[in-house]
Structure formats: structure tokens, C-alpha cells
Chain A
Amino acid sequence: MKKLLLICLFIIGLGVALVNFKGLAAKGNYNSIIVNFREDIPSTVLSQQLETISQQYKQIPNLNSIFSINEHLYTLNGDEKLLKALQRSPLKQYVESIEPNYIYQAFEVPNDPDYSKQWNFRSINIERAWEETQGEGVTVAVIDTGVSKVPDLEQTGFVEGYDFVNDRIEATDDNGHGTHVAGTIAQSTNNNYGVAGIAYKAKIMPLKVLSSGGGGTITDIAEAIRFAADHGANVINMSLGGGGDTQVLKEAIDYAHNKGVIIVAAAGNSNQNSAAYPARYPHVISVSALDPTGKKAPYSNYGAGVDISAPGGSEEGKILQETIDPDTGNPVFTEFQGTSMAAPHVAGVAALIKASNEKLEPEEVLKVLKESSRQVKEDPFNHYGAGQLDAASAVQLALKGQITFKDFFRWLRDSGYLNPRFWIDGGVAALLPKVAMVLGSYIFAWILRNYFPFNWTWPLSTGLIFGSTGLFFLRGFYVFDLPQWPFRVMGSSLPELGNIIQGNSWFNPFFASVIIPFCLIALLLGHSQWRWFAIGTTLGVSVCLGVAAVTSPGVMWLGQDTLARCFLAVNAFLCIGLACLAMKGDERTA
């Protein structure tokens, strides 16, 4: 009895440890605190308590997002000390919970203290895009009022630009607009200071064409476009507009376009049905502005010429970057709104796309931006162009067709295959076919990803392992006085489960077939996360059976010759077909 209890406790403990492994590894880091106020307290009490927090602890609580208003969900910067102080304070009678705002992807959420105020970055899904790229190797020309190297641009790379207003090489800002725009594109990020930028490893080429008053001539703008194209810019951002159709500007745009430069411009702020020049020229990506709820901002132009929409802010929430105060020239964090702010979101994402796949021509980049954007179903006035900008989907789409080392490495890491034990104890389970199955299922999933774009998720990876090999290194575990079969079970893939408890090396044909994957998919298809486990398992099983068909085709009652090989191969193909069908349904929900 005692022994049985011991076994149960051991298995439960091991199971809990394995299930929680990733969670615990990623948990633990936080630099902000969630305060979830009770929903039934009056708003006067709520504002009183918020005021108390900011006075006593010198930290201002912010709504987590526009959607948190009804939930009374606030976040504020803070560490363990502040967390404990808050939990002990009289505040607790007004709250449902006070807890750490854990960073679940410690690598991708930047440490910039005011990143939490950049609702606009979360709304374009930037964190998942940063897992792939931060814009390395791309140069973005900012044709504007100039760019001053404020402290939060210290770590950002610059290339030489030009000041067309004052005819000099140094193109510093005397208005504040251009520096703000450059900040959205490439503000220094993960520098423990200020805010973040979208393509923060891209380089900025400052080109000043607008005076301190914010206006400039078309001839200067046209020259700046040619300068950018001749000096290696990959992307041009023009948060400016007005005037009429001129041949000189049109020709400059065509010139840059023919040199492979992606040109982005703001649609204009007069709430009228057509983009302003230069956004409305062919070969220019015209950007309308969204408010914090994802609706068209009240001022934004729309209709003819608008290609895509991106956050530009409104009175309900503006775009925060560091720039200069035009009166003093000193650095200052300021919130602006306008299609001027929307365009650099697209220029930044275009830089991420270009960094992900440098071969893409401007038309292809536009295609990626449009296809990856979140479509707005009812859009009779073309407020949104192709849809709302989505950085993560855009980068995923740009990477399509390319094997990336990062993908593979992340998959290995997430799946536990980077554990040294894998390599030491792997010999117990005939290492070579197992490695073939692991690699095979990865490559296989990667190939399918080109036809059915999806994201690597935890359920999918778990399914791939469960289907192909299991945590096979566990089979090398032997503990005194404990039976070894639990390790064999955990160390087995789905097709092996039918024979592993008995210790038989021949497959059970019921388990080594399409039957269980089929049942799993039928059961889990409706679930947004677990369906990926079912799909992963099915893919894993297909690779396991495929590899086994070639290397060790022993199947109970069928022998180990042609019949067994055919059985395994047919079932492997059936699994592939099943996985493809299941993926087809809803390709981007993962």
C-alpha cells in the first residue's frame, strides 16, 4: 500500500513538473503589477484609490487597454517590494486581486518602462513579430522635419542624411514631428529607458524637407526621395501631404520605386474621401489612421487611394514617442495623433518584412502587408484599405517559404530537445530513427506551413512530439524499487503506446494507425488551442509511421515485411490527409 502511494505521488510530481516546465521557466519576471478593482465599486471611489496609489507609491496606474474600462483592470510599473506593499495596504478591500503582471515571453517584451503605454504596438501584434526580426540590415529614410538624436534614439543606428531646407549634411529636427515619426519606426528598445520602436534594429536616414513650421516645397521632397533611393534606403516614410499633382514628385517616386524602394505616406488628416498627395500616387502605400478601438480616426482621410490602416490615435489615446520640444530643443516624451503617426507604423513593419525576406520587391511587400492585414468586414467607405496592420502576420507571411534557423531552434528549445539528457540517454531508444522522426515531423510541419500558414504553438509542438517520438529519453530512467513502465509510457509516441507496456517492440496495429488521430481531431477540432495538439499529433504519427515503414516495420499479426510496410505507409498518408483537412478549416487561429 505504502509502495503504491509512493508510486502515485512520484508520478503525479513528475507529471506536474513536466507539464509546468515551460510555464515556470518563463514565469518569474515582471516589471509591472496588475490591480484588478472590484467592478461594483463606484467610480468616485475608484478614482480616489487610483489617486492614493499615485501619491503614496509615486506610480501612476494606467488602464491596461481600452477594453479594461469595464473590468477596472489597471497596471502600474513596480517590483516585488511594491507588490507586497500594495497587497498589505488598505487597498485590498476594493480589489479583486493584486498580482504580478508576469512577462510570459521574456525575450520579446521590451524592458522600456513606458512600453505599457504603447497600446498602438500591442494592437499591431508587434511582440510576435519581434520573435522573428527587429529590422536588422534595413534602412528607413524619414522625409520630414529632420531627426534629432534624443536619448531614446541613442542606440538606434543612423546613416548620413541631408537637410534640404538649410542645405547641410546634418538633418536635425527643429519642429518635433520628424523625431517622433522616427521614434515609432526605430526608437531604441530594450534600453531600460522610455518607449519602444517597431523596427528598432533598422537604421534611420534623416532627410529634412520641412521647416520648423512643418511645411516644405515639393521640389525639396522630390530631391529627398531621389537622395534616399541613391543612398541605399530600403523604405521611405513620408508623414506629410498636401498640394497638387506634380510631374517632378511623380517622377521621383517612380525613380525610387524602380530602384526597389518601398514608399509609405500618410493619407491626410482632412476626413475626406481620398488620400492626399503624395499618398495617392501609384507605387506609394497610403495609410489611413485608426483610433485605440481600431475604428477609423475621426480626422483620417479614407476612400480612394487608401491601401491599409494603422494606429494614428485620437483624443481617446495618442501615440507616445520621444521627440524634441520645438521651443527649447530639449528632449521630451510627447503624444501626437494623425495619419502622420499611422504611416511610420506601416514603414516600420515594411522594414521588418524586408529584414525577414530581403528578396521581396516593393509590390510584393505591399502584397504581404495587404494579405496579412486584419480585414474589416463592413467597410463600404474604404476606411481601412485592405485592413488593419498586423506586424506578426506580415512577418510570418514574408518568411513563408524560407527555412529559418530561429524556427527550428525555438522548436527544439520549446520541445525539450535541447535538454542534454536527450543526447545522453537517447541511445536507449534507438537514437537514429528517433532523430529522423523528430527532424521529419519538424520539416514536415514546416512544409505544410507554406500551404496552411499557422504559428508554432505549445499544443502543436506537444502534439508533434506525442505523435512522433514521445519524450523518449525518459525510457532511460530506472529508479530503485519503482516500476519502469511509467517512464516507458511517457517516453513513447502515440503509435508505440499499444506495445510499450508489455515491452513489445512490434507495433499494435490499432495504435499504429490513423484511428486515434482521427478520433482526436474529431473531438478537438472545435477547440481553438487543442485542435493544434490534435493536428500536431496527427502529423507526428504520420512521420513516426513513415519512418517506421522504412526502418523497422514490425506490426503485430502482420509481420515485418511488405504487408506491414504497406500498412504503416498507408496509415502515414491517411494521417497527412487528415491533418491537411483539419488545417484547412481555420488557418490563422493558432
Chain B
Amino acid sequence: MSSITVTGKVEKSGFGVGVWALVSESGETYELYNPPADLKKPLSKVTVAGKIRNDVMTVAMIGPVLEVTDYKI
């Protein structure tokens, strides 16, 4: 599990019933894995620290799965 810190915006991604995505400033999309309630809404800028879950697969398949350990809005 690699740790990572990403800054970007949070937006809803429309696959299946929808998931929350973190789009980094460099344009990479991460799927937030079981995000806390604060991150389940559109946000223009947020810094998220977490782990990339290589052992998880999802229905959305929009990019690496990021499990949030800490965040700053």
C-alpha cells in the first residue's frame, strides 16, 4: 500500500449510482474509497492524504482507488 498526498477537486463521477472522484491538479483521477461525509460533496480544492488500495476493484473503474486517512479542505 503506497501512501500518497493529492491536492485537487472533488466531484461526482457518473458511473453506476455514482462515486466521488478526486481530480488532482495535474489531471489524474482517483476514486475515493469509502470517503468520510465531508468529502461526499463537490469541493473545489482539497488536500487528501491516503493509501492507494491496489487490492480493491470497483464498479466505477475511473482510476486508482484512494483510501482517505486525512484531509484538509
Q: Which of B20-54 contact A (CB under 8 A)?
A: 29, 31, 33-34, 53-54
* B-contacting 9-mer, from A11-19, A234-242, A433-441, A497-505: A234-242
CB pair B56–A215 under 8 Å, yes or no, is yes
Contact: B59 with A340, CB < 8 Å? yes
Assembled-state Cα–Cα distance A276/B59 (Å): 12
Contact of B55 among A180, A246, A270, A338 (CB under 8 A): A246
Nearest chain B residue, comparing its CB with the CB of A145: B59
B61 touches A269 (CB 8 A): yes
Q: Give the residue of B16, B55, B64 whose beta carbon is less than 8 angstroms from that of A336.
A: B16
Q: Determine if A326 and B65 form an interchain contact, defined as CB atoms under 8 angstroms apart.
A: no
Rounded to whole Å, the gap between the CB of A552 and the closest CB of chain B is 69
List the A residue with the shortest CB-CB distance to B33: A215
> Do A175 and B16 touch (CB < 8 A)?
yes
Interface of B is mostly: loop
Residue in A closest to B63 when the chains form the complex, CB atoms:
A270
Interface contact B16-A270, CB-CB below 8 Å: no
Whether, in the assembled complex, B5 has its beta carbon less than 8 Å from a beta carbon of chain A, the answer is no
Residues of A within 8 A of B6 (CB): none
User: How many residues belonging to A are interface residues under a CB distance threshold of 8 Å?
Assistant: 37
Q: Contacts A144-B59, A266-B61, A269-B61; is A243 near B53 (CB within 8 Å)?
A: yes
Q: Does the CB pair A210–B53 fall under 8 Å?
A: no
> Does A282 make an interface contact (CB < 8 A)?
no
B31 CB to nearest A CB, Å = 7
B19 at interface by CB-CB < 8 Å: yes
Q: Which residues of B contact A78 (CB under 8 A)?
A: none
- With contacts A243-B53, A270-B29, A270-B63 taken as known, whether A215 is within 8 angstroms of B58 at the C-beta atoms is yes
Does B55 contact A219, Cβ atoms closer than 8 Å?
A: yes
Contact B17 A340 (CB under 8 A): no
**Complex formed: what's the CA distance from A219 to B60 in Å?**
19
Q: Is the CB of B15 within 8 A of A243?
A: no
Q: How far is the CA of A567 from the CA of B59 in the complex (A)?
A: 69
Residues of A within 8 A of B57 (CB): 210, 215-218, 221, 240-243, 277-278
Residues in A with CB closer than 8 Å to B62 are 269-270, 299
Interface pair A240/B61, CB less than 8 Å apart: yes
Is the beta-carbon distance between A215 and B61 smaller than 8 angstroms?
A: no
Judge whether B15 and A340 touch: CB under 8 Å: yes
A215: chain B residues at CB < 8 Å are 31, 33-34, 56-59, 65
Residues of B contacting A219 with CB < 8 Å? 55
CB within 8 Å for A243 and B56 given contacts A268-B61, A338-B61: yes
Q: Which residue of B lies closest to A269 (CB)?
A: B61
**Cα-based distance from A180 to B31 in the complex (angstroms):** 21
**Do A214 and B19 touch (CB < 8 A)?**
yes
Whether A242 contacts B16 by the Cβ 8 Å rule is no
Can you name the residue of chain B whose Cβ is closest to the Cβ of A144? B59
Q: Is A177 an interface residue (CB 8 A)?
A: yes
Contacts of B59 in A (CB 8 A): 144-145, 175, 177, 210, 214-215, 239-240, 338, 340
Q: If A175-B16, A175-B17, A214-B17 touch, does A240 touch B58 (CB 8 Å cutoff)?
A: yes
| Residues of B in contact with A (beta carbons under 8 Å apart) | 14-17, 19, 29, 31, 33-34, 53-65
8 A–B pairs (Cβ distance < 8 Å), ordered by A: A175-B16, A215-B59, A215-B65, A217-B55, A241-B57, A243-B54, A270-B61, A326-B17
Name 18 extra pairs, CB < 8 A, besides A176-B16, A215-B65: A175-B16, A175-B17, A175-B59, A210-B57, A213-B34, A214-B19, A215-B31, A215-B58, A218-B57, A240-B57, A240-B59, A242-B56, A243-B57, A278-B57, A299-B62, A326-B17, A336-B15, A338-B60
